[in-house]
Structure 1
Amino acid sequence: MLRLKSLIPLTIKRRISNGNPIEGFELTCGLEIHTQLNTTNKLFSRSVNNPFESISSPNVNTSYFDIALPGTQPILNYEAVLFALKLALSLNSTVNLSSQFDRKHYFYGDQPQGYQITQHYHPFSKGGYLRLSKEFDEIKELSKEIRITQLQIEQDTARSLYHQSSQQNSGEETLIDLNRSNVPLIELVTEPDFHDILQVKAFIKKYQNLVRQLKISTGDLEAGSIRIDVNVSVNEHPRVELKNLPNTSSIINAIKYEYERQVNVLKNNEQDSSTVVETRGWDGSKTTVLRSKESTMDYRYMADPELPPIALSSDVLSEVAKTLSKDADDCIRELMSNPYNLSKKDARIMTIQNDFNELYNNEELRVYYIDTFNAYKGSTEDNEISDPKIVVSWILHELLGNLKKLQIPLNQLSQNILSPKKLASFLNIVHGGVISNSNAKQLLFHILEEYKLGSCKEPKDIDFMILIKKYDLEVTKNIDYNTLEADCREIIETLNNPKMIESIKSGKKKNSIKYLVGLGMRKYQGKIQAQELETMFKKILNVK
């Protein structure tokens, strides 16, 4: 794809401000979000839905209907309807039990039919909201409700690719890749409820997490799975639509620039303080006019004669609602309270889906954690856990790291080798002092690696104690402290680093003692607990 260099001299490029509101000029924004659904097939054909097929293989995921061959007819993919229903219910939107498809007529190279199938007159759902909070979304207000105007199902267009023609003096040419044509989209339109850039940023992030949690989209802006247009106005004057916003930073910077541009227009035009209704693009440093009100297209909407209405029963809505997970904020609050007492950071990791991960989603992770926690708690003598961080630390820092390294899905792990109850029993062994933390981490990775390689004949029947004895990993119970002290002194002498030792003694770098403990663990091959080594080093160095 052609990458155009900016022709604007650096000296006249305007610096983007921090976006702080200017007294007397209120920012108002609304969003139009197009979300690609990751259904198996396209919206009105049986073509494979893979809009991100390599550019080197264009037009491979197409059917006769996708390329608008005369005489072909659309057949609705009801998986897209299910995905739309999940999103609508999650946003508290009122689902239209009889929604209708319409044709939006326009001619462009990326739309081979000459029209786009969308929902104009009778959209899939109307109303609803997404709630933001200061506690979890980093906005200024304690709580902010962003209202949803409507959701509609529609087909995506093809992709235009620009590059220099191979023929001499032919200039730039445009190629059309139809892999994306007829991919199912949900268009979400918000009310103009945004009056602060932080609100816009928080909404986008929360919406991305929602579609990932629902498993209906990858939610990636950079890859084009989500495309966002922003309507901006100041002091309720005519809005300006911003397009060509490839990522969150572009959206935020474009709003900042456009806000200040409109403020300057209003300040310098006091007699007729209005901006022109227009569509503007973002080139990375400023907004530029794409088309004005005079060039607004008449799309000649009409009901699609080849597609019947989508008829849903209220029973379908209630059954789908039962499958939806709890609100993300409620889940975070639950994990931060008794008995889990997680930090906000760990609770968010358990709940917020920052990317589309094929190995697990956050609902699976959260359920796995809670089940492991309860199993571990139930196995203790007093049905209490002295340190709640034990379970979350092992799952987030050890288990997930191993799963990513070995590419093992969490649900496969849970069903075949390490159920929550099984992991709880392993943690009991570790924190019962049978095996040191360092050796336990190595043993866990070894077990998972053997499972990945298919070496575990009966993975469900793994006995941790047998493996610990087999590999001679048990912690030494009868420690000869005289020998331990001599070995620790030898480690300090061999290290020959007076500067480090002095910094430990003086308290300037207390954590450096961890390095000494690591050397001791290596010498004893993890068969002495780290606490024993740390206590001995502190005794030798006279450190409290």
Structure 2
Amino acid sequence: MLMFRRNYAKRCNTSSKFKLLPEYKLKCGLEIHTQLKTENKLFSLSTNSPFSDVDKPNYHTSFFDVSLPGTQPILNPEAILFALRLSLALQCKINMNSHFDRKHYFYGDQPLGYQITQHYSPFSNTGKLRLFKDLDSIEEQTKDISVIQLQIEQDTGKSVYDSADSITKIDLNRSNVPLIEMVTGPDFTDLKQIRAFIKKYQNLVRHLRISTGDLETGAMRVDVNISINDYARVELKNLPNTSSIASAVKYEYSRQVNMIENGEGDKLRNAETRGWTGSETVKLRSKESIIDYRYMPDPELPNIVLTSDVVDGVKDMLPVLPDDTCMSLMQEPYRLSLKDAKILTINSNSRDELYTHDELRKYYLDTFEAYRSLCERHHQEFLRKLPANWIIHELLGNLNKMEITLYEICRSLSPEKFAELLLLISNKTLSNASGKLLLAHVLNSFKENSFAAGKPLNFLELIDEFELQAVADVESEGLELICERILAEVNNDKMINDIKSGKKKNSIKFLVGQAMRISQGRIEALEFETTFKKILKVSW
């Protein structure tokens, strides 16, 4: 028994390496509640801003949101549009005549005494979201996750416990915010699939512009249904982020495996709901003891009746979905790497952005075409990887460092202007190092001048002003003199021997850096690297 308990403790330690056991099959499904980014709430004209004015509780509320007697719900059609967008993107079957129901229960943050949802006739069903090995980092080549249904419902308020006064305060800013609840099939068999699906769904709702998708603020909330070897389902709640979801699944899997191995499998015959404390799952209630919600059709709300031309119209206006966009960027004429294609496609942060993935991708595509056109006009070799390398690795780095938005710099550094900079680099007027300095100078000047409109940006004038011209056709003797001088100054036999033997190949970059400093970046690093290898008779 002691040995068994040690094994269980080791297995339940979510910080240790986790491994699924082949004799204990994991089966998971997800329930995801997503707050819709509509202008107004679901059944009132209150502003839909559940996370703003945090110091003003009950500020974004109307009479219906706080459940004053005699008030009635008025359906917000924008929520229907958003639900339709998501349903179509998930290839769901649209219910052309859905309706709302009342789910009866009372908490302090749900003063109506019921929640308006769609129990009997949800908005849509039988959809799917496909995961790919290359795009989503799962083990299988493809994996379809079924979507059982999507339903529209209202969010509840928020209870805030005040420990100083030992009272619970109620904030109804979130009350009646529109939600979509999506229920998947029990199709997940490992953690990689769960992580990939949540990330992909999160990016999808942002791409469709229907939600911020932020787990941290509660705009997206995930419950996990888990079972082992087809025992009864356990529902995990209170999972605030992806790391908590992963840790809770690991712990619960280990807990259930432990019970089966300990001969307590009968205790898993009954479904239950468990919460996550941050270190373990704890029982909240048994499914048999769950309250009777007494569902009934809402008598104050009409059915949602859709026509085929409305559905087709929304379908025609859907943006190209992220997977299709990512794959197209990896093909001709762009041939981007998967990593770079994802950067231009996946929106990982939806709040306080310096750019959106749509803006960034459009800037790249416009720059790519402008640069290709300039190369054709000047009979210059077209280096197709140059636009992505400079936009993703240089431009974005400067925007983040200087806290400048992409929209602001477009007023002066348009894609056409950026293409001019790329041409100067590709035709050797500028070295890479000088090009980076010039780009940083231009962006910093925009910021200091508050982006005021001045004279047109002229790269050639700036190159002359700062003497940034690349040194072309450098004689090998001149390069060798610089390299010999650096080797003499470094005077480090161990480093030189490590370079020669290939033991520390990257050490040559130190020597190249010294040479670039002496030449003030006006000679390409590759020329110095080649010269150092020649002098040191490097064989690798």
Contact 2:29–2:187 (8 Å) recurs in 1: yes
**Residue matched to 2:95:** 96
**1:312 corresponds to which of 287, 303, 306:** 306
Aligned counterparts of 1:14 and 1:52: Cα–Cα separation in 2: 40
Contact 1:138–1:202 (8 Å) recurs in 2: yes
Contact 1:451–1:459 (8 Å) recurs in 2: no
SS in 1 for 2:224: strand
> Does the C-alpha gap of structure 1 residues 424 and 222 become closer, same or farther in structure 2, counting only changes over 3 Å?
same
> Does the C-alpha gap of structure 1 residues 266 and 491 become closer, same or farther in structure 2, counting only changes over 3 Å?
closer
- Displacement of 1:300 after TM fit? 2.1
**Residue matched to 1:87:** 86
Alignment of 1:521-532 (within 5 A): 521-532=516-527
Alignment of 1:443-482 (within 5 A): 443-454=438-449, 458=453, 461-477=456-472, 479=474, 482=477
- Displacement of 1:495 after TM fit? 3.9
Q: CA RMSD in A?
A: 3.1
> Does the C-alpha gap of structure 1 residues 277 and 503 become closer, same or farther in structure 2, counting only changes over 3 Å?
closer
Contact 1:325–1:363 (8 Å) recurs in 2: no
Alignment of 1:340-355 (within 5 A): 340-355=334-349
Aligned counterparts of 1:120 and 1:252: Cα–Cα separation in 2: 29
Alignment of 1:170-189 (within 5 A): 172-189=166-183
Deviations 1:280-309 (CA, angstroms, capped at 9, x unpaired): 212233322211234212222233333333
Aligned counterparts of 1:491 and 1:257: Cα–Cα separation in 2: 57
**1:212 corresponds to which of 195, 198, 206:** 206
Q: 228-237 or 107-116: which moved more?
A: 228-237
- Taking structure 1 as the reference length, what is the TM-score of the superposition? 0.87
- Displacement of 1:496 after TM fit? 4.4
Aligned counterparts of 2:231 and 2:301: Cα–Cα separation in 1: 39
SS in 1 for 2:12: coil
Q: 495-504 or 241-250: which moved more?
A: 495-504
- Displacement of 1:126 after TM fit? 1.6
- Displacement of 1:157 after TM fit? 1.1
SS in 1 for 2:173: helix
Check if 1:435 corresponds to 2:430.
yes
> Does the C-alpha gap of structure 1 residues 465 and 319 become closer, same or farther in structure 2, counting only changes over 3 Å?
farther
- Displacement of 1:114 after TM fit? 1.6
Alignment of 1:44-193 (within 5 A): 44-53=43-52, 55-166=54-165, 172-193=166-187
SS in 2 for 1:129: strand
Deviations 1:321-350 (CA, angstroms, capped at 9, x unpaired): 233333333333323333322222222222
Letter in 2 for 1:472: E
Letter in 1 for 2:512: V
Aligned counterparts of 1:309 and 1:297: Cα–Cα separation in 2: 27
> Does the C-alpha gap of structure 1 residues 267 and 480 become closer, same or farther in structure 2, counting only changes over 3 Å?
closer
Deviations 1:512-544 (CA, angstroms, capped at 9, x unpaired): 232233233333333333334334444444446
Deviations 1:48-83 (CA, angstroms, capped at 9, x unpaired): 333234654433333333222233333333332222
> Does the C-alpha gap of structure 1 residues 523 and 188 become closer, same or farther in structure 2, counting only changes over 3 Å?
same
> Does the C-alpha gap of structure 1 residues 384 and 48 become closer, same or farther in structure 2, counting only changes over 3 Å?
farther
Which segments of 5 or more consecutive residues in structure 1 lack a partner in the other structure? 1-9, 167-171
- Displacement of 1:91 after TM fit? 0.4
SS in 1 for 2:129: strand
> Does the C-alpha gap of structure 1 residues 455 and 443 become closer, same or farther in structure 2, counting only changes over 3 Å?
farther
Aligned counterparts of 2:10 and 2:517: Cα–Cα separation in 1: 58
Check if 1:408 corresponds to 2:404.
yes
Letter in 2 for 1:20: L
- Displacement of 1:20 after TM fit? 0.9
- Taking structure 2 as the reference length, what is the TM-score of the superposition? 0.87
Contact 1:335–1:341 (8 Å) recurs in 2: yes
Check if 1:38 corresponds to 2:37.
yes
Q: 515-524 or 266-275: which moved more?
A: 266-275
Contact 2:97–2:306 (8 Å) recurs in 1: yes
**1:228 corresponds to which of 213, 222, 225:** 222
Alignment of 1:268-347 (within 5 A): 275-347=269-341
> Does the C-alpha gap of structure 1 residues 389 and 298 become closer, same or farther in structure 2, counting only changes over 3 Å?
same
Letter in 2 for 1:242: L
SS in 2 for 1:218: coil
Aligned counterparts of 1:325 and 1:385: Cα–Cα separation in 2: 34
Letter in 1 for 2:430: I
**Residue matched to 1:5:** none
> Does the C-alpha gap of structure 1 residues 330 and 55 become closer, same or farther in structure 2, counting only changes over 3 Å?
closer
Identity, in percent, stands at 55
Aligned counterparts of 1:460 and 1:47: Cα–Cα separation in 2: 46
**1:389 corresponds to which of 365, 381, 385:** 385
> Does the C-alpha gap of structure 1 residues 321 and 270 become closer, same or farther in structure 2, counting only changes over 3 Å?
same
Contact 1:153–1:185 (8 Å) recurs in 2: yes
SS in 2 for 1:74: coil
SS in 2 for 1:450: helix
Aligned counterparts of 1:490 and 1:277: Cα–Cα separation in 2: 76
Deviations 1:331-376 (CA, angstroms, capped at 9, x unpaired): 3332333332222222222222222252333233333323322332
- Displacement of 1:113 after TM fit? 1.8
Aligned counterparts of 2:130 and 2:499: Cα–Cα separation in 1: 50
Q: 12-21 or 196-205: which moved more?
A: 12-21
**1:16 corresponds to which of 12, 17, 31:** 12
Check if 1:200 corresponds to 2:194.
yes
Aligned counterparts of 1:77 and 1:320: Cα–Cα separation in 2: 17
SS in 1 for 2:38: coil
Aligned counterparts of 2:195 and 2:406: Cα–Cα separation in 1: 31
Aligned counterparts of 1:384 and 1:150: Cα–Cα separation in 2: 55
> Does the C-alpha gap of structure 1 residues 501 and 26 become closer, same or farther in structure 2, counting only changes over 3 Å?
closer
Aligned counterparts of 2:145 and 2:530: Cα–Cα separation in 1: 55
Letter in 1 for 2:393: H
> Does the C-alpha gap of structure 1 residues 119 and 506 become closer, same or farther in structure 2, counting only changes over 3 Å?
same
The number of residue pairs the alignment matches comes to: 529
Aligned counterparts of 1:20 and 1:245: Cα–Cα separation in 2: 21
Aligned counterparts of 1:226 and 1:140: Cα–Cα separation in 2: 26
- Displacement of 1:159 after TM fit? 1.6
Q: 482-491 or 350-359: which moved more?
A: 482-491
Q: 491-500 or 93-102: which moved more?
A: 491-500
Aligned counterparts of 1:258 and 1:478: Cα–Cα separation in 2: 67
- Displacement of 1:394 after TM fit? 0.4
Aligned counterparts of 1:290 and 1:401: Cα–Cα separation in 2: 47
**Residue matched to 2:3:** none
Letter in 2 for 1:196: D
